[in-house]
Each structure stands twice: as structure tokens, then as C-alpha cells.
Amino acid sequence: MTGTVYLVGAGPGDWRLLTLRGKELLERADTVVTDHLADDRLLAFAPPEAERIYVGKTAGHHTLPQEEINELLIAKAREGRTVVRLKGGDPFVFGRGGEEGAALSRAGIPFEVVPGISSAIAVPAYAGIPVTERGMASSFAVVTGHEDPQKKESAIDWEKLATGTDTLVFVMGVRNLPYITARLMTSGRSAETPAAIIRWGTRSDQTTIVTTLGSAAYEAARKGITPPAIFIVGDVVRCRSRLSWFENRPLSGLTIGITRTRRQASALSARLEELGASCIEIPTIRLDEPSDHYAVLDQAIYHLSSYNWLLFTSSNGVHRFFHRLCEFKEDSRSLGGIRLGVIGSATAEALSTYGLRADLIPPEYRAESLADSLIPHLSRPSKILLVRAEQARNVLPDRLRSAGARVTIAPAYRTLPDRETRDRLIPLLEEHALDLITCTSSSTVTSLLDLLGDRRGLLEGVSLACIGPVTAATCTREGLTPALVASTYTIEGLTQNILDWRRTHHEI
């Protein structure tokens, strides 16, 4: 049976601008064939077992010629696979989607076109520049700045284009700006016409240069602007002074390394990117099963009814505990007579996903505070099950035992350095690409240093943001000085402290 090929527009750069139809198709794809400008995070929507093929093109370098891409799509469809061809922007706006669709049609392969948000409109909008504006511009044209190199002469009617349309948007034209600007001016467009160059539009590292038609090529060269970039010409550029919003966000221009596990990093990244930061996920840790292969935890679950209290110190511990509980073909009802204590709102929220509410959440999200809050509720002898990471501070069990409780420490997971990150982390630090690195646990700190090894000196000049005093103490013990320590030991608290730090940092 022949499969279907879906030509899906990935949008202009911000991966969250993918259409719902595009997401739906990615979720059931067997093969994803992706472009250079399609954000890698979109691939997370595809099933883990889906085949992922990169055929990206950059100026002067093509992973595969277009004809081979066409043949690849046909071959995968003939294998009976559901193929998503993920293309930056819109497939039919200088995306060569028409060529791919025609090739599929000739081969008798069913296909569907899923429009995407075109960079020609979205990128100016993110720069605060509307392509049309009442009383200022009632027409606009989208023009390629990079025509087919096989052409002997330009197919663009420069005489009509230069003055016949209010707003001109050139895509893929940054390398040809001297030629483009010269043709427009010799064809009648004033050199004083407002213009803007927008690089990596809609992404958190978006850069906008406001200039004039006559100065655009010089400014692009002077500031080292390289593709991908949009060039827009017209009076609408003046609107940016009152409509700029994307680059005005409080964390714009700040690049932050996120060291949490791959699964956990996305929530923190999303929050910081909403505020304008560019987040690079560099997970320094990964979670693995404990060294005893859950022996202590399984034994505790087998005798679960004998415990008075069940304590969790992290959301990871909650999820691992319930995973093992399911292995015993049990569920939340097994905890009917047990009181529950957690450190932190995130851990309490994880517990709520299983239909349970914590009986005790300490005022400070740290082990000392949980011990202080729990001890008045203990009766002698209380039996406590503490589910936590394999390697953790012993302050909580030690204090509880001193108060007369019998404590079973049941490791639910262990944290290990994520070795896959090292090859990405070192170049980022060598290139001074990170302004700030978040440290959300002591293990992220120790694993970061473990990954760097004798290259730990690369951290000089990079500010560290710690989620709380325990993590900050680990930094200090390792010879590092945190730039900030969250006063509320949560992701939201860390985010607020980063905002405060950035504000102060800018004032300085």
C-alpha cells in the first residue's frame, strides 16, 4: 500500500507557530524529512521510533539536491510510510513545495499541502513592522532575494516593482543586498526610504537593524549580518518605534543554558523564552534506576501498609514510586492509611496527578524545613518511608531518627552525568555563547563539573543561577560563586530572581 506525503509548513522560526494540523501529522508520522530552518524541537512531536532525515540547505551547501529529495519522498511513500516533509515557513512561498508536489503527482503518490505561517509576514510582525497599515501602505510584495542561479537574467521587473508596491519584503536576500538596493534605487525608489533587516526572525535571538534603502547594504556588512534574514522596504518600518514588542521583553538578548534533565528542561525553557531569553538545553544529568535495581523500594512497597508516613523530596521520586507501584498491580488506594509529606509545590503537583494531596508541605522547600514541620506530628514509634534519589543529603533522615522515628530510605532513581551533552557544552563555553547557566539541584552542579573535567575554567565569565541555598552551597564547595540564588526554591522563584538579576545587571 502506498503511503501519503504531507508537505507541512513549519512556520518562520518560533517552533510554537506550527499549525495544529502540522502537529497532528507529525504525531503519526513514520518518516520526517526536515529542512535547515525547521526547529529541532518540532521533531519531538513525532513518535520516538519515527525515521528522521535531515535534508537542509544553506547558502552554497545542499545536503541533497532537490531532485534527490523528490526521489526520497517518493521512495518512502512507496514503502507504505506516512511521510511528513517539514519545510520552513510555508511550502509554497519560495519553499520549492510546488516542485515536490509536482514530482509526487507524476509518480502517482497521494500528497497534501499544509500551509505554514510565512516568514514574509511573521518576521516583520515580530519586529513590530506591519506589512500593511491604514493610510501608509495598502499593498505589499514578497520577492525572492536569491533567484535561480541558472537564469541568465533577472525575471523581476525592477522598474515596476520599485515604485508599484508600498511595502517590499525580500526573503533570502541578505547576501545580495548591494544588488537589490542598487536596482531599487536606479528604478526610482528613494534612497531615503525606511528599511529594516531582520535576522533569525521570531526566534529569541532575533536581531533587527533599522536603516534606509541607501544605507542597508553598508549596515548589513558593517554589523556582519548573515543569512537567514528578511529585508523589508517601505514607510511601514517607521511603525516599529511604537509597535516593537518581541525584542522589548525583559530577558531579550540573554542566552541561558538549562542543565535539567531533558524531560524537565522544557518547562523552564518555555517560561524563560516567554520573557525573551534564548534557552539552550544542555542537560548535565540523566535519570537511571537505582544501583540496587529498586530492591529496597520494592520491599517497602510490599510492606507499604506498615508505614505511617510516606515522604517525597522530588517529583522524580513521585513518578518513579508510582511506576513501581504499578509493577505490583497496585494504585493510589494502597496509600489509604498513610500520611504524605513532600518538599515543594512541584512535588505536591506531581502527587496530585495520581489523585493524592499532600498532608504536609513545609514553608521552606528544603529538607531541614520538612524535618522541622514533621517532627511535631510524629508519634512514637513512627515508621517513615523516604523515597528519594540514591545520592542525597542525610539531614532529613538523621533528624527524624533523632526524634525517634524509624526511617527507611528507598532510592527511586539515581542521577548520572549526561555524557551526550559534553560535545555540545564545550563549544558553547569556548564561544562564550552562554550568559547564564541555571543550576536546579546539587547534582546538576556536580555533573556539570564532571562533564567539564579539566576544562572547568571555561565557566569563568558565565553567571550561575541557583534554585536555592543547598544548590548554592554545592557551588561554593566546588569553588564556584553563584550570581544569584532564588529566594523561593521553585522554577517560578528562580525565574523571578533571574528577572531581578537581569534588571540590576542592565542598570550596572
pLDDT for residue 59 is more than 80: no
Catalytic residue at 383? no
Percentage of residues in the chain with pLDDT exceeding 70? 97
pLDDT for residue 508 is more than 50: no
- pLDDT-derived band at 57 (thresholds 50, 70, 90) equals low
pLDDT for residue 345 is more than 90: no
Task: Give the Cα separation of 392 and 344 in Å (integer).
Answer: 16
In this prediction, residue 325 carries a pLDDT of: 95
Task: Give the Cα separation of 457 and 134 in Å (integer).
Answer: 56
Which member of 14, 172, 418, 435 is catalytic? 172
Which member of 30, 35, 418, 435 is catalytic? 35
pLDDT tens for residues 131-146? 999 999 999 999 998 7
pLDDT for residue 148 is more than 70: no
| Strand, helix or coil for residue 83 | strand
What's the rounded mean pLDDT across residues 20-26? 98
Which element (helix H / strand E) includes 443? Answer: helix 442-452
Q: Cα 130 to the chain's mean position, in Å?
A: 27
Percentage of residues in the chain with pLDDT exceeding 90? 76
- Please report, as a single letter, which amino acid is at residue 479: G
Catalytic residue at 57? yes
pLDDT for residue 507 is more than 60: no
pTM attached to this predicted model: 0.78
The two beta strands, 463-466 and 484-485, are parallel
CA atoms within a 13 Å half-sphere pointing along the CA-CB vector of 373:
18
Task: Give the Cα separation of 310 and 386 in Å (integer).
Answer: 6
Packing angle between helix 442-452 and helix 469-477, nearest 10 degrees? 30
- What mean pLDDT is reported for the chain? 92
pLDDT for residue 359 is more than 50: yes
448, 494, 446: which is closest to 467 by C-alpha?
494
pLDDT for residue 245 is more than 90: yes
Which domains does the chain carry? 5-117 (3.40.1010.10), 121-248 (3.30.950.10), 255-284+418-507 (3.40.50.10090), 288-416 (3.40.50.10090)
**First vs last Cα of the chain: how many Å apart?**
65
Catalytic residue at 136? no
Which element (helix H / strand E) includes 172? Answer: none
What's the rounded mean pLDDT across residues 32-41? 86
Helix residue ranges per DSSP H, 113-215: 119-126, 158-164, 177-186
pLDDT for residue 152 is more than 80: no
At which residue does the C-alpha cell 544548590 appear?
A: 471
In this prediction, residue 145 carries a pLDDT of: 85
pLDDT for residue 17 is more than 60: yes
pLDDT for residue 506 is more than 80: no
- Find out whether 118 and 144 touch, Cβ atoms under 8 Å: no
pLDDT for residue 165 is more than 50: yes
- pLDDT-derived band at 26 (thresholds 50, 70, 90) equals very high
Phi-psi region of 442 (alpha: psi -120 to 50; beta: other; left: phi over 0): alpha
At which residue does the C-alpha cell 538596493 appear?
A: 181
Instruction: Give the Å distances, CA to CA, from 188 to 62, 164, 185, 263.
Output: 36, 10, 5, 55
Task: Give the Cα separation of 118 and 92 in Å (integer).
Answer: 9
What's the rounded mean pLDDT across residues 32-61? 85
pLDDT tens for residues 266-310? 788 889 999 999 899 899 888 899 999 999 999 999 999 999 999
- Please report, as a single letter, which amino acid is at residue 381: P
In this prediction, residue 172 carries a pLDDT of: 87
Contacting residues for 138 by C-beta, under 8 A, at least 6 apart: 132, 166
Instruction: Give the Å distances, CA to CA, from 487 to 371, 424, 438, 462.
Output: 20, 31, 14, 21
- pLDDT-derived band at 436 (thresholds 50, 70, 90) equals very high
Which member of 57, 372, 450, 500 is catalytic? 57
